Structure 1
């Protein structure tokens, strides 16, 4: 999967920024001080099924998570180090998930997090 296209999509949203989490080596994407995505490779000694996988974690609607996990059981996992009821981790090396769907899920993650920001913060972001 083209990580460059994914990063471009994540950063195309209003107010979106990224920062490397130095101790973890994860690239974390933010809006209004809230995380909406992260891209990383899980450690080789991480618990199964995450060990060594190149992952993209995104906020996701709980009902959509059930659908995605049923359709792509090997590639869409519960969110790594996050609430698996509201976050997913997508294996970026698995070719089973269409890139277009991953990009749509990036948009949905941003929208879910942005919608929870205070109205004042939303307005400030949209005026930038």
Structure 2
């Protein structure tokens, strides 16, 4: 998967907005002003940081060398997934959807 395909998938979510986080040289994807994906590069490789339950994050890291704790985010919940690694596109899309559901479920009411 490449960054362009990933951004298109994320931006197809209702209410999705993207902005640049200049300190991290990354693109944030948010819904209702809550980030669910952070698209960036890790050592020149395309990657995305996604939120999951701590149990799922641990499981993903154990099973896939291309899933690592995120550098700038809460490592218990946020994992960085390398897009050019061993995960199939369908698995990455599933994790994007799970991340969106996770942040929407945990946000504080307005």
Q: Same fold (TM over 0.5)?
A: yes
2:74 equivalent to 1:83: yes
Q: Is the 2:26–2:38 Cα contact (8 Å) retained in structure 1?
A: yes
2-structure distance, mates of 1:76, 1:21: 21
Q: What 5-or-longer segments of structure 1 have no aligned partner?
A: 43-50, 121-128
Larger Rg: 1
Q: What is the number of equivalent residue pairs in this alignment?
A: 110
For residue 102 of structure 1, report the CA deviation from its aligned partner.
0.3
- Alpha-carbon distance, 1:119 to partner: 4.2
Larger % of strand: which?
2
> 1:23–1:11: structure 2 CA closer, same or farther, 3 Å change rule?
same
Distance of 1:63 and 1:23 partners within structure 2? 29
Unaligned runs of 5+ in 2: none
Tell whether 2:96 aligns with 1:106: yes
- TM-score under structure 2 length normalisation: 0.88
- Report the CA distance shift for 1:4/1:52 in structure 2 as closer, same or farther (over 3 A): closer
Structure 2 residue aligned with 1:124: none
Show the counterpart of 1:67. Answer: 59
- Determine if contact 2:2/2:84 at 8 Å carries over to the other structure: no
Cα separation, partners in 2 of 1:23 and 1:82, compared to 1, 3 Å? closer
